[in-house]
Every structure is written in structure tokens, then in C-alpha cells.
Amino acid sequence: MRFIFKTDYAQDIRLVQHGGHAFWYSLLGLVLAAAPWLMSEYLLAQLTFVLIYGIVGLGLMLLAGFTGLFSLGHAAFFGVGAYAQAVLTNMGWPFPLAMAVAGLLAAAVGVVVGLPALRVKGIYLGIATLAFGFIVEEGFARWESVTGGNSGLAVDVPKAFGWAADGATSFYFVCLVTAVGATLACRNLLRAPTGRAFVAIRDSEISAQSMGIHLAYYKTLSFAISAALAGIGGALYAHQIRFLSPDQFNIIQSIDLLLMVVIGGLGSLHGAFLGAIFLIGLPQAISAVKDFLPEAIGNAPGLKAVVYGAVLIAFVLFEPLGLYGRWLKVRTWFQLFPFYRQGMFRRQKAFQKSERLR
């Protein structure tokens, strides 16, 4: 167990808390950088998807996990980014510029959603974003001159200034750099006053307001940043999947994204990536164990949905802190070995409080 004796405020918000952090994160970085030579091409493609969903997850985590506003229409931002990227790249724009525009466009859409969403809370916000998601999905399907409608849209390889990421490896590195950049950006945002304002809004809107936090501004900002990250993720997704169609950005996708951050662990940046690993890994795991199951269960089309639902239920019931929370508990158990007690991480209301008035 490492005790960090803090003697001034600056220590609270240091990026790297101690040497152990630096060591393990650089090791992780090395492994990720060496991944193309360690893995088969198929696994590398899956890892690329993990990074892409991780970026989207970071965005949703900022919104749902740190600001406490949950969105059931995040696939719409994801889709706006993907389509913007596809259209711009096909027009011959360089990759970084197209991605920046895709992110900004998604952020602008996020502001448009965020503004009316300021007036509503909780479940109303969920339904507003849900409605928005449906409208955007329909827009993708109907705006055929730009998006290709239901027949889909092919996407070019990312190109920039004479260089093209046409192989799996080079595109993996593009995603890796973007993911690391996005993670650092989020981490820094959370250390800064903005991020603390987000957390304050999540914990109690009224007290945040009375501390002088401008609710409307920060909520809209949170929506915008979250949407921008989703848009950037969408831009990478467009290149990875190479073919877009509107049904990739429907309500199921939105719920999958939400499921990803909940299972990863709401309120932790690690959770975004753990959730992404889970989301990408579970179908693989299911198809791996399929052969060992009885025929009738293994080949049933509903198996994936049942497993998803059951895992989600199990997490909400037994591990509300998600995968990252589980990791923290395991680590703490080892650190405190004989002294770990049940319910150390419990943060539960003693009696049901009314949420209608929040």
C-alpha cells in the first residue's frame, strides 16, 4: 500500500500521482505501441475498434458519468461525425482537417441539443435525446444526396498531405494517437475548474448553482465536448468500417454506448476503455463458447441479447461501480489484506429519496 502524504493543494491535481502510475502507464503505452507486431491482424482490428469506442465512451463518460446528464441519442453525434468525415474525405479533404471539422460539427449539433435540454432534467432529458436520435437517424436515411440513404456510403482511406493510412497498422496508430490525446484532454479537463464544475453539477445542481456555477453554460459545454468526442470517434469509425449506413446509428447503438459506460464504470475515465473492451469483446467471447453449448442455445439468434441483458442486470445489481469499480475493490483487498471490510465502497442512500425535485 502506498500512502501519499499531500502537503499542498497542487498535489491533489497532479497528472501523475506517483512513480507507480508513470511506470504502469508507460508500460501500457509500450505494449499498445508494439501491438501490431504482437497480434494477428484480426485482433488488431478489434483493438482499433476498442480505441474508437473508447473515444466515444470518454465523451459519454464526461456527460453521463461526470456531469450527470444522460443521453439516449449519442449514436446521433457518432453518426454526424462519421458522415461528416466520410463526405469530406470523399471530397478529397486531408484526414486531420476532415476529422476536426467532423468533431466541430458534432459539437455544434451537441449545442443545439444541449440548449433545449437545459430546461429538462432526468428522464425528460433522456427522452429528448432519444427523440433527437430518432430524428437524426431518419435524416441520415432521407438525405440521400449527401449520405447515400439506405443504400449506404463508401468511405475513402484516410489521406493527408501525400501520406495514406491504407494498412491496418498505420490506421491503428492513427487511432492510438487520437485515443491517447483524447484521454489526456479529458484527464486535464477534469483537473481543471471546468471538470470540477461538471462534477459539482452532477452531485447537486442547486448547490453548484449557489457556488456560482453557471448551470446553462456548463451543461451546454458538457454536451458540446461530449458530442465532439463522439464525432471524432465517429470519424475514425467511418474509416475503420469503410461503409456507412443509417442503421449503424440507431437507438440500439445509443443504448449500447450507454451500456458500455455503465458496465465500464460511471465516473471514471478508465471505465470508458474497459467498457469498450467489454462491448467489443463480449460478442467474440460468446462466439468462442458457442460451440460448447447445446445446439439449441448456441445457435439461437437471441443469445447475444440475453447475455447482454443479463450482464447489464448483474452489473447494476451487484457492481454499480462497473468494471473499474471491481478492479479498485480487488486492488484494495490486496493492499489492505487482512483489514478489507464489506461495504467499503458503498455510497448508498439510506432511504429512497425523491429524485423528482432534483
The residues of the shown chain that bind another protein, judged by CB under 8 A, are 64, 70, 116, 119-120, 122-124, 126-128, 130-132, 134-135, 138, 141-142, 206, 251, 255, 258-259, 262, 296-297, 300-313, 316-317, 320, 348-358
* Shortest reach from residue 258's CB to another protein, in Å: 7
Cβ at position 197, least distance to another protein in Å: 20
- State the minimum distance, in angstroms, from the CB of residue 72 to another protein: 9
HSE-CB of 206 using CA atoms within 13 angstroms: 3
- Map grid coordinates 437524426 to a residue: 136
The answer to whether the beta carbons of residues 273 and 57 sit under 8 Å apart is yes
Distance between CA atoms of residues 139 and 238, nearest Å? 18
In the complex with another protein, the residue whose CB is nearer, 2 or 349, is: 349
Residue 160 is given by DSSP the state E
Phi and psi, residue 179, nearest 5°: -65, -45
C-alpha cell at 93: 479533404
Q: What's the min distance (Å) between Cβ of 221 and another protein?
A: 20
Residue in 181, 182, 177, 172 with CA at minimum distance from that of residue 239? 172
The 10 Å Cβ neighbour count of residue 302 is 9
Please give the backbone phi and psi of residue 94, each rounded to the nearest 5 degrees, phi first.
Answer: -65, 150
Neighbours of 262 (CB within 10 A): 21
- Give the integer Cα–Cα distance in Å for 31 and 36: 10
Residues 128 and 71: their CA atoms lie apart, in Å, by 9
Q: Rounded to 5 degrees, what angle do the CA atoms 269, 271, 272 make?
A: 75
Residue 303: strand, helix, or coil: helix
Q: Are strands 163-164 and 243-244 parallel, antiparallel or unpaired?
A: unpaired
DSSP result, 251-294:
HHHHHHHHHHHHHH-TT-HHHHHHHHHHHHHHHHHHHHHGGGS-
Q: Cell triple for residue 127?
A: 427522452
Q: Count CB neighbours of 232 within 10 A.
A: 30
Rounded Cα distance, 248 and 256, in Å? 11
Q: Of 7 and 352, which has the nearer Cβ to another protein?
A: 352
